[in-house]
Amino acid sequence: MKHVYAIYFSPAQSTKLLAQHITLNIGYLTVPTTHINITYSKDREKLYEFGQDDLVIFAFPTYGGRAPNVMPSIFDNVRGKKTPLVLVASYGDIDYDDSLLEACKRLTENGFVCAAALSVPTQHTIAPKVGAGRPSTSDFDKLKEYSLVIRQKLDMADFYGEDLILPGSYPHKDYVGGPKIAPETSDECIKCMLCYQWCPVDAIPHYHPKDTDPNKCIKCQGCVIRCPVKARAFKHPGFLEKAKQTEEKNFNNNHEIQLFL
């Protein structure tokens, strides 16, 4: 490998940490490494092209059992030429469903060769009692171990002829994003503009950051997490009830990281 690229869509930051950890531990320490954050729409509008001597680690969260449904797409402007690819799908310790299969299909069509994939349970952003504390120290240890296994496969000259078998269905399950709602903003707002700067779908206008467009909002919780005065929160009764039910049903979940080679 001549260059390693870590690409991530990570509104809540946990997926970014996974991408960084795997990139470090996959072991190509003597070649240049570049991190590409495609969380923000302006960065997803750029064209990224890679060659056969590059390695791309592509990490993203699972939303509703699918890859993030955002515009511009996280896939469309990422192009390869028989470029080795490692996929990383994080999910809120319930299920990642079709997300890895969808990403593999989309990026294979864009010229990549899916060499390996990981599903990694993390804390659920909407129902935070689910997967609380994930990824844990032991999760990061396991990711280090799996990164070395992936490196062994990448060092094989003939891995290009293999098809990566991933769980999921095609046609993919319907994406269910829930009701069109957005966080409410209290009078505690200090108009620091962090929410505007961090929103991955441009749902928060710079001229009035208290207003969030519910038709654009993907409920990623990025603005809620980053608000320095805790002025933003989802308060829709149906949303809160769904979060409560999700926590009650899945509180004891403890899924393992899965590696696909």
Q: 126 in helix, strand or coil?
A: coil
| CA distance linking residue 246 with residue 12, whole number of Å | 19
Report the pLDDT value the prediction gives residue 28, as an integer from 0 to 100.
87
Report the pLDDT value the prediction gives residue 140, as an integer from 0 to 100.
97
Could you check whether the bond before residue 32 is cis, i.e. omega within 30 degrees of 0?
no
Per-residue H/E/C for 91-106: ECCCCCCCHHHHHHHH
Write out pLDDT tens, residues 119-173.
Answer: 999 999 999 999 999 999 999 999 999 999 999 999 986 766 567 999 999 999 8
What does the CA dihedral 199, 112, 165, 22 come to, rounded to 10 degrees? -60
Report the pLDDT value the prediction gives residue 160, as an integer from 0 to 100.
67
| CA distance linking residue 250 with residue 127, whole number of Å | 9
- Site of tokens 């969380």: 39
CB 111 within 8 A of CB 80: yes
Strand-strand pairing, 232-233 and 184-185: antiparallel
| CA distance linking residue 226 with residue 229, whole number of Å | 9
**Would you state the structure tokens that stand for residue 84, as one six-digit string?**
């080795």
Report the pLDDT value the prediction gives residue 223, as an integer from 0 to 100.
96
Low-confidence ranges of the chain (pLDDT < 70): 157, 159-162
Strand partners, 37: 8
Report the pLDDT value the prediction gives residue 173, as an integer from 0 to 100.
87
Report the pLDDT value the prediction gives residue 1, as an integer from 0 to 100.
87
Long-range contacts of 242-247 (CB under 8 A, 24+ apart): 242/126, 242/178, 243/126, 243/127, 244/127, 246/94, 246/124, 246/126, 246/127, 246/130, 247/124, 247/127, 247/128, 247/129, 247/130
Report the pLDDT value the prediction gives residue 32, as an integer from 0 to 100.
95
Write out pLDDT tens, residues 211-232.
Answer: 999 999 999 999 999 999 999 9
What lies within 8 Å, CB to CB, of 158 at 6+ separation is none
